[in-house]
Structure 1
């Protein structure tokens, strides 16, 4: 029982938003029975994979037993970081060997988007529970496969859309659901990424020492190594990701879908391109607007990499525009601007907690309870918003207004339908579920 009290105590600290070093939990972790420990393996441990692991390690039962990366420098750096916490994981360069490790109970998938589908499904098939980074896929078809796989293998899968665990987001969405805004016919989501600089074009170069570049490419198109496509910058290239639309869009559009209890959009049209940095190395648009018709309301998505002054003076955010007032929401808080003579405005309510830490606690709680209905971001929610975001990118790339035929799993435009299902290369095959 002491372990449970200590767990609740640490959860309360996280919920209060306290910043504290992982070392503070060492004494609590030492009291956890070996039978109660949950072994985590991380695939892709440079960026969000590492952030996810550090959040999970704040839960007393969790220990890191394995890490995997295709870059030996990153692997050795994380080994050194974990040594400071007296954690000594096994090191892997091939994720399949990590999945075969019987000490691994839970897998964190923190790789680039084009790897998520294979690695999540393989992890589920290996009997592991999974914390998968967002967006869950780099295509519509992969998201659908992943959704099916979780059901088939009956695993606990949390998608890393951690805003769902922050209390102020939950409060704001509950307010939308209350009906006090009146009929909401228009919604907006946006990200204005001020401070972005051009990604200077550079020539291809030899693969850095210690990097398994073939494994990094995986099922994507075979290309010579170019540092602009590697590590963080992968998100600006269609082979591996979907630009700001899927990087930030899945977080923000997710709130619209939650608030409106939305299904699949009926049609989407989009415009945009490389207007800010027309000659830099990125492929994905630096300015983009997409308009979604859900039948009973519309949603617009905007992103702009030139300025940080976005809609309503907010760099990023979500707006629910109702007949009685407009609710504005972002990672810092939420407010309501009432329509004159219809409702009182509600002052800004500031965020006071740490969403990623709370998301990790929620995940581990469900890993233990097996009550998948308690997950804050289950696979179907991750799939829905990933697919919705892909719709916006596909409309832009097709250059036409697109209509989705759910029964046939295709668009009305051939150019758009060709982007639904990826072509896996280099000997890798799309999973069969």
Structure 2
């Protein structure tokens, strides 16, 4: 099946669906009333990208209940067969197996898809899924470039699809409690948020020479729209995120999760107007990577500043947490990560007392991923806005790409023109806004 033929088929399907009522258009096939179906029926899900995070997300959806996995797609037959066997053994489900996501999207029994591929493969499956009338759970970051983020948001809107972005902290108890406390006024005004992310894996993986493609792997399909490059295990499973063609390093991997909380605290829903960034790759030259080993970023807003720092190759950080956020307020600082949060009071010199109460909360039952799956399933059925809609995912993904672009080009400061979808006064930066897809893949028009 050619790419153009497949796309035309998607368009025909979308047109046919659009001819029905608005409700029937919105609801997935197996959830529509009539023909023996009720709105409470099982949701049929297909998974695109089965090796790691994608399958973890599928497990959460299965645990949430009300879900059948009817299709799996992966370019690695070894992964595909392993995951299929697990589904049959543990869940009694026998999904149809695909190595080409377009064929999965052509499967009429699939109501919704989970996209757990490397970042460079988020955009096309998501856009074509929306076009085919299927709802989407897409892992973070939303996409690997700014233009792809914009395109995915446009597709979700045009085709009226529910899209949940895998920023599951939005569904976690810790972060909802943090937001409620910050907005209660107990700490006064929020001035600044400091963010840090220190992870050993951020240094990359050990360098190895190029080698032959492993048996069962469709490497041409794995590359997809990315530039042609010889196979190398250090750029493949698990470590692809350290290379610009496929991912954005710690900045996009953990940046979207943590920046999302800094945005949420101030109800920021659009990309920042300005970024200042510096990235460095000196050190750990034995490791394979293109993305930055260390990075410092500032996002200045009106009356509020977000500052980000990351260090690959270490596993400790401020407040004895290797990652987290410090929300700096007038009366105290709230420090948080997924394990819990605490309030460190400011000292009132005149009153010789703390300005606020010291508080501590430890998370003992983190179910954010499960809650996020439950939320997506519910929203597919009732057509409500999910916990992390596509515009929320877009705002923080674009911010992380802005930071990487500023550091990669040496511009250090970039100003974003949201109306034009481009940077002001930087030709080099604007060349990195839109991906240069390798033929025959093309960035669709929506």
- Return the TM-score normalized by structure 1: 0.89
Show the counterpart of 1:161. Answer: 167
Structure-1 separation of matches of 2:201 and 2:218: 32
Deviations, residues 238-295 of structure 1 (Å, cap 9, x unaligned):
0000000001111111000000122432321112222331342111111111111112
Q: Structure 1 pair 340/193, CA: closer, same or farther in 2 (3 Å)?
A: same
Structure-2 separation of matches of 1:359 and 1:315: 24
Deviations, residues 52-109 of structure 1 (Å, cap 9, x unaligned):
1100011331011000000000011011111102110000010000001011011010
Helix, strand or coil at the partner of 1:365: helix
The match for 1:247 among 243, 250, 253 is: 253
Deviations, residues 371-407 of structure 1 (Å, cap 9, x unaligned):
22xx111101010110011111111111121111222
Confirm whether residue 233 of structure 1 aligns to residue 236 of structure 2: no
Structure-2 separation of matches of 1:200 and 1:392: 26
Confirm whether residue 121 of structure 1 aligns to residue 131 of structure 2: no
Q: Structure 1 pair 225/88, CA: closer, same or farther in 2 (3 Å)?
A: same
Confirm whether residue 405 of structure 1 aligns to residue 417 of structure 2: yes
Helix, strand or coil at the partner of 1:423: coil
Show the counterpart of 2:41. Answer: 36
The match for 2:339 among 312, 315, 332 is: 332
Structure-1 separation of matches of 2:143 and 2:400: 11
Confirm whether residue 385 of structure 1 aligns to residue 391 of structure 2: no
CA RMSD of superposed structures (Å): 1.7
The match for 1:280 among 277, 287, 290 is: 287
Show the counterpart of 1:423. Answer: 436
Structure-2 separation of matches of 1:33 and 1:268: 49
Q: How big is the shift at 1:197?
A: 6.5
Structure-2 separation of matches of 1:182 and 1:266: 25
Confirm or deny: 8 A CA contact 1:276 1:306 kept in the other structure: no
Helix, strand or coil at the partner of 1:393: helix
Q: How big is the shift at 1:410?
A: 1.5
The match for 1:314 among 311, 321, 340 is: 321
Structure-2 separation of matches of 1:149 and 1:432: 9
Q: How big is the shift at 1:33?
A: 8.1
Confirm whether residue 300 of structure 1 aligns to residue 300 of structure 2: no
Confirm or deny: 8 A CA contact 1:267 1:403 kept in the other structure: yes
Show the counterpart of 1:65. Answer: 70
Helix, strand or coil at the partner of 1:394: helix
Confirm whether residue 143 of structure 1 aligns to residue 149 of structure 2: yes
Helix, strand or coil at the partner of 2:265: helix
Structure-2 separation of matches of 1:34 and 1:137: 32
Unaligned residue ranges in structure 1 (runs of 5+): 1-31
Confirm or deny: 8 A CA contact 2:43 2:68 kept in the other structure: yes
Q: Where does structure 1 differ by over 6 angstroms across 4 or more consecutive aligned residues? A: 32-35
Structure-2 separation of matches of 1:195 and 1:70: 24
- Return the TM-score normalized by structure 2: 0.87
Structure-2 separation of matches of 1:261 and 1:111: 29
Confirm or deny: 8 A CA contact 1:40 1:108 kept in the other structure: yes
Confirm or deny: 8 A CA contact 1:45 1:74 kept in the other structure: yes
The match for 2:380 among 360, 363, 367 is: 367
Structure-2 separation of matches of 1:40 and 1:403: 40
Deviates more, 1:162-171 or 1:200-209: 200-209
Show the counterpart of 1:16. Answer: none
Confirm or deny: 8 A CA contact 1:222 1:426 kept in the other structure: no
Confirm or deny: 8 A CA contact 2:203 2:293 kept in the other structure: no
Deviates more, 1:341-350 or 1:171-180: 341-350
Helix, strand or coil at the partner of 2:347: coil
Structure-1 separation of matches of 2:82 and 2:394: 33
Confirm or deny: 8 A CA contact 1:319 1:329 kept in the other structure: yes
Structure-2 separation of matches of 1:359 and 1:181: 29
Show the counterpart of 1:103. Answer: 109
Unaligned residue ranges in structure 2 (runs of 5+): 1-36, 349-354
Structure-1 separation of matches of 2:218 and 2:394: 29
Q: Structure 1 pair 129/353, CA: closer, same or farther in 2 (3 Å)?
A: same
Structure-1 separation of matches of 2:384 and 2:144: 28
Structure-2 separation of matches of 1:86 and 1:425: 40
The match for 2:81 among 76, 80, 86 is: 76
Structure-2 separation of matches of 1:163 and 1:56: 16
